[in-house]
């Protein structure tokens, strides 16, 4: 006589890797009642879409109601995190712009992706997979629109790319490549030069507030081994 399965029922859950860029790439975690850190997420209600469930948990668990870009990362089965259910865990990437932290719940905090605390249910891997997804998307799309302020200088945008990619990016090359692909345009405004003097910096903005796939951009490939951390090479024509 065959033994009954340990987890006879399957249940869908969602978890979100929320990412932002300040002077570094950070992810948002909430502290569970027993004290461990966790991705914001939970069970999907009957009749609820996965996207809607993710947005609901983001609002209720960590107070995030404005997400600039949301996409599914992957789905994995887990039989060891619930005593009765076999969980179908769909991970999401949620990108937000930096803002004040005074509206965060007291059990919620931003953590550097490069120095994560232990995360419940083994979800550190989901954070690293989300980081890899974001790195790749920067090379062929305008996904940085979801992380950058509405207006910025090329130097500010290059600093954002560097925080995600982990190596230096030339602001001039960055503006040339994104402008050539029609993803970036000057606003007509300038920023006053700093105390060191020099010409005012031109302000730019992304031309779309939705994801646009352009093409792989050679300017954002990692530098060759032994090449140091100088500016990335200019893209090919």
The count of C-alpha atoms lying within 13 angstroms of the C-alpha of 236, restricted to the half-sphere facing its C-beta, is 4
Q: Could you report the per-residue pLDDT of 117-154, keeping only the tens digit for each?
A: 999 988 999 999 999 999 999 989 999 999 999 999 99
Q: Could you report the per-residue pLDDT of 164-214, keeping only the tens digit for each?
A: 999 999 999 999 999 999 999 999 999 876 555 568 899 999 999 999 998
| Overall average pLDDT of the 109-121 stretch | 95
Q: ∠ CA(58), CA(22), CA(14), 5° rounding? A: 20
pLDDT band at 46 (very low <50, low <70, confident <90, very high): very high
Q: Are 168 and 236 in contact (CB under 8 A)?
A: no
The predicted structure's pLDDT at residue 237:
30
pTM of this structure: 0.86
CA distance 128 to 39: 13
The average confidence (pLDDT) of the chain is 86
| Strand positions, DSSP E, 22-155 | 25-31, 37-38, 41-43, 69-78, 85-95, 108-112
CA distance 178 to 141: 9
The predicted structure's pLDDT at residue 233:
37
Structural domains for the chain: 9-136 (3.90.79.10), 150-220 (1.10.10.10)
**pLDDT at 3 > cutoff 90:** no
What DSSP state is assigned to residue 33? T
More confident position, 100 or 36: 36
CA distance 82 to 50: 20
Residue with tokens 């990437």: 93
**pLDDT at 104 > cutoff 90:** no
């Amino acid at each position: 006589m065959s033994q009954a399965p340990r987890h006879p029922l399957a249940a869908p859950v969602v978890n979100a890797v929320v990412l932002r860029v300040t002077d570094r790439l950070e992810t948002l975690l909430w502290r569970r009642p027993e004290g461990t850190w966790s991705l914001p997420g939970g069970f999907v209600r009957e009749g609820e879409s996965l996207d809607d469930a993710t947005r609901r948990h983001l609002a209720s668990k960590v107070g995030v109601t404005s997400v600039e870009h949301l996409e599914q990362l992957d789905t994995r089965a887990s039989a060891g995190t619930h005593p009765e259910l076999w969980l179908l865990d769909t991970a999401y990437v949620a990108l937000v712009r930096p803002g004040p932290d005074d509206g965060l719940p007291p059990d919620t905090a931003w953590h550097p992706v490069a120095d994560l605390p232990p995360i419940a249910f083994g979800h550190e891997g989901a954070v690293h997979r989300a980081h890899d997804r974001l790195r790749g998307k920067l090379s062929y799309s305008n996904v940085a629109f979801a992380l950058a302020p509405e207006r910025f200088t090329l130097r500010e945008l290059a600093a954002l790319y560097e925080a995600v990619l982990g190596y230096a990016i030339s602001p001039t090359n960055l503006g040339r490549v994104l402008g050539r692909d029609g993803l970036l345009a000057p606003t007509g405004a300038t920023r006053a030069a700093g105390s060191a003097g020099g010409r005012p910096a031109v302000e730019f903005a992304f031309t779309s507030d939705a994801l646009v796939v352009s093409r792989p951009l050679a300017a954002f490939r990692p530098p060759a081994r032994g090449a140091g951390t100088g500016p990335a090479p200019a893209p090919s024509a």
